[in-house]
């Protein structure tokens, strides 16, 4: 269906802004201002030729960091996912008695390799700086709006290892989700508080997560489509050369990844998205509003706490 030019418009190069046109009401008085068109997405392709070597090195830092992070966070279990895998880094709502909020983690993975976890955590700080520059360079207003929202909510950013109620000007998301392994999911709207989500699409090497910025068609690899089904528009990533960045209204318009390609021996399609998740916002609103004051956890002997980096470290068993 996506490949039918009568049904879908495919986008595979350049820059483009998508709007949903608002049709004037038939009975609207002539003096009434028409509703403005609704922003759907800003899409920008950057070819391998346009990327300097230092840019590729920075992108490589991000993708290898996330590849290594797979050992320390669990995969997302969601009925929306058809195939492939998704992981999430950052902050979440409570999951256990006494917990007010926490960071995503796979404690068994941390316990098995605490030194690797420490290294990965601090590598994440550098990766976050790269991602800030990557998106502020094309959508500075949207990034600033997300930063203002985080600041007003006194929320931590996804790379913050603990909650200090202070927000840096480079913070603009509470969560980072990333996908690989021929990821494909159902059309959906995200449950976000932020007005926009920030998406980067690329190809990476399966072995180590390093980025592959050259057109992969010569190797027999074919990438997916990122689709806005209700608007019959799809970002065509089959022969992606470089990277594609998308800033879009993820909570207002349905979107999905469509991938029907068989696994490749050396390459996989990769995506990362940054947003401010509503469930996480609600968790920190409760904390800031004093919801837990004078309340006692249901489980005896448990105290209210936030499962931050220190909590994760304290749970690592001591060597025998």
Q: For residue 16, what pLDDT is reported?
A: 97
268: β partners: 204
Residue 261: inside a domain:
yes
Residue 14's CATH number: 3.60.130
Confidence band, pLDDT 50/70/90 cuts, at residue 217: confident
**pLDDT tens per residue, range 161-206:** 999 888 899 999 999 999 999 999 999 999 999 999 999 999 999 9
Residue 29: inside a domain:
no
| Residue-range definition of the domain harbouring residue 210 | 9-18+39-314
Residue 320: inside a domain:
no
Residue 236: inside a domain:
yes
Confidence band, pLDDT 50/70/90 cuts, at residue 32: low
Q: DSSP code of 188?
A: B
- Overall average pLDDT of the 269-298 stretch: 94
When the pLDDT of each residue in the chain is averaged and rounded to a whole number, the result is 93
**pLDDT tens per residue, range 53-102:** 999 999 999 999 999 999 999 999 988 999 999 999 999 999 888 999 99
Going by their DSSP bridges, the two strands 305-307 and 197-205 should be labelled as: unpaired
> Residue 33 pLDDT more than 80?
no
Residue 120: inside a domain:
yes
- 3-class state of residue 189 by DSSP: coil
Give the CA dihedral 121, 122, 127, 131, nearest 10 degrees. Answer: 80
pTM above 0.75, yes or no: yes
Residue 24: inside a domain:
no
Residue 22 burial (CB count, 10 A): 11
Residue 32: inside a domain:
no
> Residue 1 pLDDT more than 80?
no
Count of alpha carbons within 13 Å of 148, Cβ hemisphere only?
8
> Residue 45 pLDDT more than 90?
yes
- Overall average pLDDT of the 256-282 stretch: 95
Could you give the number of structural domains in the chain?
A: 1
> Residue 27 pLDDT more than 80?
no
**pLDDT tens per residue, range 281-290:** 999 999 999 9
Rounded Cα–Cα distance for residues 143 and 194 (Å):
10
Residue 28: inside a domain:
no
CA 99 to chain centre: 24
Q: Where in the chain does DSSP place strands (E)? A: 9-11, 15-20, 38-46, 81-93, 99-103, 175-185, 197-205, 211-212, 225-228, 233-236, 243-248, 256-258, 267-275, 305-307
């Amino acid at each position: 269906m996506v490949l039918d030019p009568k049904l879908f418009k495919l986008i595979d190069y350049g820059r483009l802004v998508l709007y949903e046109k608002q049709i004037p009401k038939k009975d609207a008085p002539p003096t009434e201002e028409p509703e403005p068109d609704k922003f759907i997405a800003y899409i920008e392709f950057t070819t391998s030729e346009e990327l300097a070597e230092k840019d590729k090195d920075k992108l490589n830092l991000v993708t290898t960091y996330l590849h290594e992070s797979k050992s320390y966070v669990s995969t997302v279990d969601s009925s929306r996912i058809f195939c492939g895998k998704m992981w999430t880094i950052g902050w979440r709502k409570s999951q256990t008695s006494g917990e007010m909020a926490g960071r995503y983690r796979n404690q068994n993975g941390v316990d098995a390799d605490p030194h690797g976890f420490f290294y990965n955590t601090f590598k994440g700080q550098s990766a976050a700086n790269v991602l800030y520059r990557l998106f502020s360079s094309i959508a500075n207003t949207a990034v600033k709006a997300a930063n203002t929202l985080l600041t007003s909510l006194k929320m931590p950013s996804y790379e913050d290892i603990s909650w200090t109620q202070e927000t840096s000007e480079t913070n603009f998301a509470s969560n980072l989700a990333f996908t690989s392994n021929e990821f494909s999911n159902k059309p959906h709207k995200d449950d976000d508080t932020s007005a926009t989500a920030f998406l980067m699409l690329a190809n990476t090497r399966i072995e180590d997560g390093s980025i592959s910025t050259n057109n992969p068609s010569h190797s027999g690899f074919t990438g997916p489509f990122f689709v806005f089904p209700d608007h019959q528009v799809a970002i065509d990533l089959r022969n992606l050369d470089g990277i594609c960045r998308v800033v879009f209204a993820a909570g207002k318009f349905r979107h999905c990844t469509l991938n029907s390609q068989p696994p490749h021996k050396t390459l996989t399609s990769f995506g990362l998205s940054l947003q401010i998740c509503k469930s996480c916002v609600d968790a920190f609103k409760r904390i800031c509003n004093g919801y837990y004051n004078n309340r006692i956890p249901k489980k005896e002997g448990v105290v209210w706490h936030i499962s931050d980096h220190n909590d994760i470290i304290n749970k690592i068993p001591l060597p025998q």
